[in-house]
Protein backbone atom coordinates (compact mmCIF):
# COMPACT_ATOMS: atom_id res chain seq x y z
CA UNK A 1 0.00 0.00 0.00
CA UNK A 2 1.32 3.43 -0.92
CA UNK A 3 1.37 6.24 1.65
CA UNK A 4 0.94 9.81 0.42
CA UNK A 5 1.61 13.05 2.25
CA UNK A 6 -1.07 15.67 1.77
CA UNK A 7 -0.43 19.34 2.61
CA UNK A 8 -3.21 20.22 5.03
CA UNK A 9 -2.20 23.65 6.29
CA UNK A 10 0.37 26.32 5.47
CA UNK A 11 0.96 28.87 8.21
CA UNK A 12 2.01 32.47 7.52
CA UNK A 13 5.52 31.65 8.84
CA UNK A 14 5.93 29.08 6.05
CA UNK A 15 5.43 26.04 8.29
CA UNK A 16 3.63 23.25 6.46
CA UNK A 17 1.50 20.62 8.17
CA UNK A 18 1.29 17.31 6.33
CA UNK A 19 -1.06 14.41 6.83
CA UNK A 20 -0.21 10.82 5.86
CA UNK A 21 -2.95 8.96 3.98
CA UNK A 22 -2.96 5.65 2.10
CA UNK A 23 -4.19 5.15 -1.46
CA UNK A 24 -7.75 4.66 -0.14
CA UNK A 25 -7.68 8.02 1.66
CA UNK A 26 -7.38 6.51 5.15
CA UNK A 27 -5.20 8.40 7.64
CA UNK A 28 -1.93 6.66 8.55
CA UNK A 29 0.67 7.23 11.22
CA UNK A 30 4.19 7.31 9.82
CA UNK A 31 7.09 7.49 12.25
CA UNK A 32 10.73 8.34 11.66
CA UNK A 33 13.51 8.77 14.20
CA UNK A 34 14.71 12.18 15.32
CA UNK A 35 17.89 12.21 13.24
CA UNK A 36 15.93 11.29 10.12
CA UNK A 37 13.51 14.13 10.84
CA UNK A 38 16.43 16.58 11.13
CA UNK A 39 17.60 15.39 7.72
CA UNK A 40 14.17 16.22 6.24
CA UNK A 41 14.21 19.62 7.96
CA UNK A 42 17.56 20.54 6.35
CA UNK A 43 19.35 20.57 9.73
CA UNK A 44 21.82 17.69 9.11
CA UNK A 45 25.36 18.28 7.86
CA UNK A 46 28.37 16.21 6.87
CA UNK A 47 32.08 16.66 6.33
CA UNK A 48 33.83 13.78 4.56
CA UNK A 49 37.50 12.84 4.40
CA UNK A 50 37.41 10.84 1.15
CA UNK A 51 39.12 7.46 0.81
CA UNK A 52 42.87 7.90 1.19
CA UNK A 53 45.90 5.77 1.95
CA UNK A 54 47.43 6.05 5.43
CA UNK A 55 50.91 4.69 6.15
CA UNK A 56 51.52 2.60 9.26
CA UNK A 57 51.66 4.83 12.34
CA UNK A 58 50.46 8.00 10.62
CA UNK A 59 47.52 10.09 11.77
CA UNK A 60 45.08 12.52 10.21
CA UNK A 61 43.63 15.09 12.61
CA UNK A 62 40.56 17.29 12.29
CA UNK A 63 39.40 20.29 14.30
CA UNK A 64 35.64 20.71 14.69
CA UNK A 65 34.84 24.23 15.85
CA UNK A 66 31.39 24.85 17.28
CA UNK A 67 30.31 28.48 17.31
CA UNK A 68 28.09 30.49 19.63
CA UNK A 69 24.88 28.48 19.47
CA UNK A 70 22.11 28.10 21.97
CA UNK A 71 22.22 24.86 23.97
CA UNK A 72 19.09 23.69 22.12
CA UNK A 73 20.88 24.08 18.77
CA UNK A 74 24.21 22.50 19.75
CA UNK A 75 25.33 19.90 17.20
CA UNK A 76 24.65 16.23 17.83
CA UNK A 77 27.73 14.50 16.39
CA UNK A 78 28.20 11.00 14.98
CA UNK A 79 31.47 9.68 13.55
CA UNK A 80 31.76 6.98 10.87
CA UNK A 81 35.08 5.39 9.87
CA UNK A 82 35.80 2.85 7.14
CA UNK A 83 39.23 1.25 6.94
CA UNK A 84 40.85 -1.64 5.08
CA UNK A 85 43.07 -2.41 8.09
CA UNK A 86 43.28 -1.55 11.78
CA UNK A 87 42.70 2.13 12.50
CA UNK A 88 42.14 3.84 15.85
CA UNK A 89 39.76 6.79 16.10
CA UNK A 90 39.75 9.36 18.93
CA UNK A 91 37.41 12.18 19.96
CA UNK A 92 38.79 14.93 22.25
CA UNK A 93 37.16 18.02 23.75
CA UNK A 94 38.81 21.43 24.23
CA UNK A 95 42.19 20.86 22.54
CA UNK A 96 44.86 23.54 22.59
CA UNK A 97 45.61 24.68 19.03
CA UNK A 98 47.61 27.54 17.54
CA UNK A 99 46.35 27.20 13.93
CA UNK A 100 43.09 25.79 12.58
CA UNK A 101 44.48 23.98 9.53
CA UNK A 102 42.86 23.65 6.11
CA UNK A 103 39.09 24.33 5.90
CA UNK A 104 37.07 21.27 4.88
CA UNK A 105 33.79 21.17 2.99
CA UNK A 106 30.60 20.93 5.02
CA UNK A 107 27.43 20.05 3.12
CA UNK A 108 23.79 19.98 4.05
CA UNK A 109 22.68 16.33 3.67
CA UNK A 110 19.27 17.49 2.41
CA UNK A 111 20.21 18.74 -1.03
CA UNK A 112 16.97 20.77 -1.22
CA UNK A 113 18.47 23.19 1.32
CA UNK A 114 21.25 25.49 0.13
CA UNK A 115 22.29 26.60 3.62
CA UNK A 116 25.66 25.50 4.94
CA UNK A 117 26.05 24.69 8.64
CA UNK A 118 26.60 28.04 10.30
CA UNK A 119 27.10 26.46 13.70
CA UNK A 120 30.14 24.24 13.10
CA UNK A 121 33.18 24.27 10.84
CA UNK A 122 35.77 21.58 10.13
CA UNK A 123 39.53 21.92 9.50
CA UNK A 124 42.17 19.30 8.60
CA UNK A 125 45.69 19.25 10.06
CA UNK A 126 45.39 21.82 12.84
CA UNK A 127 48.48 22.71 14.87
CA UNK A 128 47.87 20.96 18.20
CA UNK A 129 49.92 21.40 21.38
CA UNK A 130 47.51 19.51 23.71
CA UNK A 131 44.78 17.05 22.69
CA UNK A 132 42.29 18.04 25.41
CA UNK A 133 39.98 15.65 27.24
CA UNK A 134 39.56 12.21 25.67
CA UNK A 135 35.82 11.63 25.27
CA UNK A 136 35.87 8.37 23.34
CA UNK A 137 37.97 6.08 21.19
CA UNK A 138 37.26 3.28 18.75
CA UNK A 139 39.23 0.52 17.03
CA UNK A 140 38.06 -0.25 13.52
CA UNK A 141 39.44 -3.30 11.74
CA UNK A 142 41.83 -5.89 13.10
CA UNK A 143 45.45 -6.16 12.08
CA UNK A 144 46.60 -6.15 8.48
CA UNK A 145 44.16 -8.66 7.05
CA UNK A 146 40.82 -7.33 8.20
CA UNK A 147 39.26 -3.92 7.76
CA UNK A 148 35.82 -2.77 8.74
CA UNK A 149 33.43 0.05 9.44
CA UNK A 150 32.65 1.72 12.73
CA UNK A 151 29.90 4.11 13.69
CA UNK A 152 28.99 5.59 17.05
CA UNK A 153 25.43 4.41 17.67
CA UNK A 154 24.57 7.20 20.13
CA UNK A 155 25.14 10.83 19.17
CA UNK A 156 27.41 13.19 21.09
CA UNK A 157 25.52 16.44 21.86
CA UNK A 158 28.57 18.70 21.75
CA UNK A 159 28.82 22.05 23.48
CA UNK A 160 28.53 25.52 21.92
CA UNK A 161 31.69 27.68 21.87
CA UNK A 162 33.87 24.56 22.14
CA UNK A 163 36.45 22.93 19.90
CA UNK A 164 36.77 19.19 19.31
CA UNK A 165 39.59 17.11 17.90
CA UNK A 166 38.98 14.00 15.79
CA UNK A 167 42.05 11.89 15.04
CA UNK A 168 42.44 8.64 13.14
CA UNK A 169 45.70 6.69 13.41
CA UNK A 170 46.62 3.78 11.16
CA UNK A 171 48.06 0.79 12.99
CA UNK A 172 49.14 -0.64 9.63
CA UNK A 173 49.20 0.69 6.09
CA UNK A 174 45.60 0.86 4.90
CA UNK A 175 42.93 3.00 3.27
CA UNK A 176 40.50 5.06 5.32
CA UNK A 177 37.40 7.19 4.88
CA UNK A 178 35.91 9.34 7.66
CA UNK A 179 32.51 11.00 7.88
CA UNK A 180 31.59 13.54 10.56
CA UNK A 181 27.80 13.83 10.62
CA UNK A 182 25.79 16.14 12.83
CA UNK A 183 22.49 17.91 13.07
CA UNK A 184 21.74 21.29 14.56
CA UNK A 185 18.22 21.66 15.86
CA UNK A 186 16.76 24.94 14.58
CA UNK A 187 15.80 27.30 17.40
Least confident of 18-22, 111-115, 130-134: 18-22
Total structural domains in the chain? 2
What does the alpha-carbon distance between residue 43 and residue 116 come to, in Å, rounded to a whole number? Answer: 9
For the chain, the straight-line distance linking the first and the last C-alpha, in angstroms and rounded, comes to 36
- The whole model's pTM is what? 0.80
Answer yes or no: is pLDDT of 37 > 50: yes
**Contact indicator for 176, 168 with CB cutoff of 8 Å:** yes
Q: Do 86 and 15 have their domain in common?
A: no
Q: Do 150 and 172 have their domain in common?
A: yes
What SS3 class is residue 94? coil
In angstroms, how far apart are the furthest CA atoms of the chain? 64
What does the alpha-carbon distance between residue 36 and residue 41 come to, in Å, rounded to a whole number? Answer: 9
Q: What is the mean pLDDT of residues 107-115?
A: 82
Q: Do 84 and 160 have their domain in common?
A: yes
Better pLDDT: 67 or 153: 67
**Could you tell me the residue range of the domain that residue 26 belongs to?**
1-31
pLDDT band with cut points at 50, 70 and 90 for residue 170: very high
Partners of 167 in beta bridges: 61, 90
Q: Do 13 and 90 have their domain in common?
A: no
Answer yes or no: is pLDDT of 14 > 70: no
Least confident of 33-37, 80-84, 181-185: 33-37
E strand or H helix at 19: strand 16-22
**Contact indicator for 187, 73 with CB cutoff of 8 Å:** yes
Partners of 63 in beta bridges: 123, 165
CATH number of 50's domain: 2.60.120
Note the pLDDT of residue 118: 67
Q: What is the mean pLDDT of the chain?
A: 83
Amino acid sequence: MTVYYIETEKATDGTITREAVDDLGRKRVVGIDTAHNHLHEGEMFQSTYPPAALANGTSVTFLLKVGALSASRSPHLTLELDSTGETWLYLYEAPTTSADGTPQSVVNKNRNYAAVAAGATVFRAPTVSADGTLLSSWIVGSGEKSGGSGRESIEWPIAPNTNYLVRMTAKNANNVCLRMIWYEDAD
